[in-house]
Amino acid sequence: MLWLTWRQHRWQLVVTAVWVALLSVMVSGDFVDRMIRLPNSICFLPTPSLFPVTAPCSRVSTALLAVLPVVVAVFWAAPLVSREYEQRTYIVAWGQDVSPQRWLAAKAGLLVAFAVGLALVAGVLASPMRARLSLQHRNVYSRFETPNFDVAPLVLVVHVLAMFTFGLAASVILRKTVLAMVATLALCVVVSVIAIQLRHHYFSPVRSLEPVGDNRANYGFDALVSRQGYADEAGREFSFSDDVCLGSPDFWGCVREHGAVYIFTDYQPGNRLGRVRLIETGIFLAITAVALWIVRWRMRRLPDSP
């Protein structure tokens, strides 16, 4: 089964492995350190926050690494059963003293092991650089924010497991490759958006108040900012649109004239990062268990022909 899986999926495995390897190198500390020493380096592209490690060196590569679970789900898992039905090769694959359940368990197990290995290696390689950026550029870089949160080794692994099972479930239920891939992509996007939003609500946010015009953030590093707005002298939030002050020569003075004394920030502090990761890990493992149950239930009831 190992040789058969390799023969059928070698190009998917090789291309994904090369892609992950390149991205892992791009988010590693050695690569970034070398790039920022080069003249006219793309790492010196200006940003509003003067963040020296910009999109080409860190942010884009991190975002692309974070979509590894979606790639695995859509291109590895979704076609796994549906393609066998479309090409009618399931008749041979399941007709040699191998039940559909054992066949799927063997193939899916090998693919999942490879995908988890890729996710673990990529997450570990990216961790030192993310920690360093968090300390050196705490006002503009947070490991709590997306996609930095998603490439932590534990989170990346459980996302791979969960989304792979999404693809399997779509494959055994729909049995049409393109339809299964589209459904898997849609489900992965929806679940990811919900997961990102839930990170703001596992714990009650902490509120920080800074005087209007004072741009020094005092909520520490690795914070997850949920909301910002204006507050009055008593610290009470009030509705105010600063668009009316955009044309003023003294923007902050105009804001203060309208009654705003503070800028409030609701956020999850960085010391909650580990607990939020564990909570999300538990949720995704539970979702994985449910999806696996659906796959097992459906595989037992697959007809002999599409």
List the chain pLDDT tens, one digit each, 306 residues. 554 555 555 566 667 667 666 666 666 555 554 544 444 444 444 444 434 444 445 666 677 788 889 999 999 899 988 888 887 766 666 666 667 777 788 888 888 888 898 888 888 877 776 666 666 666 666 788 888 899 899 999 999 999 999 999 999 999 899 999 999 999 999 999 999 999 999 999 999 888 888 766 677 778 899 998 999 888 888 888 888 888 888 888 998 898 899 989 899 998 999 999 999 999 999 999 999 999 999 888 765 444
Cα–Cα–Cα angle for 65, 224, 262, rounded to 5 degrees: 145
pLDDT at position 8, please?
58
pLDDT at position 5, please?
53
Domain range annotation of the chain: 2-200+271-299, 206-270
Question: Parallel, antiparallel, or unpaired for β 206-211 and 262-268?
Answer: antiparallel
Look up tokens 């002999």; give the residue.
304
Residue 262, beta-bridge partner list: 211, 231
Q: Record the pTM.
A: 0.82
Question: Parallel, antiparallel, or unpaired for β 224-231 and 206-211?
Answer: unpaired
Distance CA 115, CA 212 (A): 48
The answer to whether residues 47 and 135 touch, using CB atoms and an 8 Å cutoff, is no
CA distances to 23, 48, 97, 240, 266 from 132, rounded to whole Å, are: 18, 20, 54, 37, 25
Distance CA 75, CA 93 (A): 20
For residue 245, the surrounding DSSP H or E stretch is: none
Distance CA 168, CA 296 (A): 10
Strands of the 262-268 sheet, one edge to the other = 206-211, 262-268, 224-231
Rg (CA), the chain: 24
